[in-house]
Amino acid sequence: MTEKVAIILAAGKSTRMKTNLPKVLHEVCGRPMLEYVFDACRNAGASKIYVIVGYGKDQIINRYSSQKDLVFIEQKEQKGTGHAVLCCKEYLKDFNGNTLVLCGDGPMICGETLKTIADKHESEKSVMTLGTAILDNPFGYGRIARDLYGNIQGIVEHNDCNEKQLQIKEINPSLYCFNNKILFEMLGQLKPNNAKNEYYITDVLHLIIAAGLKVIAVTAVSAEEAIGVNSRLQLSQVSKIMQSRIQEKLMDSGVTIVDPPNTWIDARAEIGQDTVIEPFTCIFGSVKIGDNCKIGPFAYIHDGIEIPNKTFSGVFKEYKK
């Protein structure tokens, strides 16, 4: 198995969110969205994760400086996604493996999906592999253009699509796997041929195709995994989906959640088998609840609380340290 690393793009400032906090540190069910992306990369087998930081870099670096598999690289000027990846050149110029590239504001991505993309990349001996998604409403996304044989021909940005291309439902959620050596060779050839005078990672695709090298697109990304966060509304939408994931995982492990839509459970919470969570319960932070408990209704459990086995709460109870 070829060694792989990951590059996470986390340098941008979200003007639409109207915030002083780096976008990737906004929380989804109690955890910064960036942490979910870290988890996905690790679960996919990345041996090292290169985090491209810019706006609010000190906040990000200070928070995660103790994590030994992370390397922080500053993008001093915001000159596009291609430029952001190129900032890693000195760190990866001698690396002979495969490199995953993804965005830090996509917390829904799963490690298994990244692994599928990376495994397909290796088995097909591809130079570049895109993970794509099928959306019922692909508005705003770049469309995947294929030929009659299904081979990828390029990515057409939404605003550049003709009427026929607008009907394409296969989109680019910005999840890539590259042969690292060729990635940086092609990045050196990028030109800022656009109105913003920026360097885009998507243009590497066209350079690789023009060079006659192999590119594949794998439709392995679910519609929910493709969601990125660029506004407070999208943050709330992602949080709702993530909450469902958290509760489903707990129920699969033997926890009863009586009324999931009216229950909120932090991603960091640990809950034991045969515990029942009654409606209108809020479990916030790194909480540990034992086996065979009954919590709620209307319980509010604070960060850091540990509740022993066989604990039964009343109609309303607020747990504090």
Q: Using CA atoms in the order 253, 254, 256, 260, what is the torsion angle rounded to 10 degrees?
A: 10
- Name the stretches of the chain with pLDDT < 50: none
pLDDT at residue 320, rounded to an integer: 63
The answer to whether 232 touches 29, Cβ cutoff 8 Å, is: no
Distance CA 53, CA 59 (A): 10
Name the token pair of 237: 């939408």
The answer to whether 108 touches 242, Cβ cutoff 8 Å, is: yes
pLDDT at residue 193, rounded to an integer: 73
**Other C-beta atoms lying within 10 Å of the C-beta of residue 115:** 18
- Domains, the chain, with CATH or none: 4-221 (3.90.550.10), 253-319 (2.160.10.10)
Tens of pLDDT, residue by residue over 13-27, are: 878 899 999 999 999
pLDDT at residue 318, rounded to an integer: 63
pLDDT at residue 314, rounded to an integer: 63
pLDDT at residue 78, rounded to an integer: 87
pLDDT at residue 12, rounded to an integer: 87
Question: Using DSSP, how many helices (H) and how many strands (E) does the chain show?
Answer: 8, 22
Tens of pLDDT, residue by residue over 240-277, are: 999 999 999 999 999 999 999 999 999 999 999 999 99
Residue 126: alpha-carbon gap to chain centroid: 23
* Catalytic residue annotation: 16
Distance CA 258, CA 60 (A): 37
- The DSSP code sequence of 78-102 is ---HHHHHHTTHHHHTT--SEEEEE
